[in-house]
Amino acid sequence: MGFKPLANRVLVERQEETNTTASGIIIPGNAKEKPLQGKAIAVGPDAEGIKEGDVVVFAKYSGTEITVDSKEYLILSSDDILGILA
């Protein structure tokens, strides 16, 4: 990994929600307003309560997108993280 977050920032690998319901109905992207989730890949020293490997939930338009080693990630402030999935 070629990126180390500073302060309370968290590097997240986004995990897109499925666009199809259990019965096979396709949901258009603009109909979904649910928070997104992703895996914390790297955590800054001041990001309290979050550790690498945690699956976190964040609001749809939070963070800054970045490409590292040809993979897309999201940099979030720990304040933008809504919770951790258990």
How many H-runs (helices) and E-runs (strands) does the chain carry?
0, 6
Residue 10 tokens, joined: 């968290």
Q: What is the pLDDT of residues 1-37, one digit of tens each?
A: 689 999 999 999 988 665 666 677 776 665 555 568 9
Q: Which helix (H) or strand (E) holds 15?
A: strand 9-15
Question: How many structural domains does the chain have?
Answer: 1
Q: Containing domain of residue 48, as a range? A: 1-16+34-86
Two structure tokens written together for 67: 């490409």
In a domain, 22, yes or no: no
Residue 24 lies in a domain: no
User: Would 23 be classed as within a structural domain?
Assistant: no
> Is 63 contained in some domain?
yes
Find out whether 17 and 32 touch, Cβ atoms under 8 Å: yes
pTM value? 0.79
Q: Residue 7 belongs to a domain with what CATH number?
A: 2.30.33.40
Residue 27 lies in a domain: no
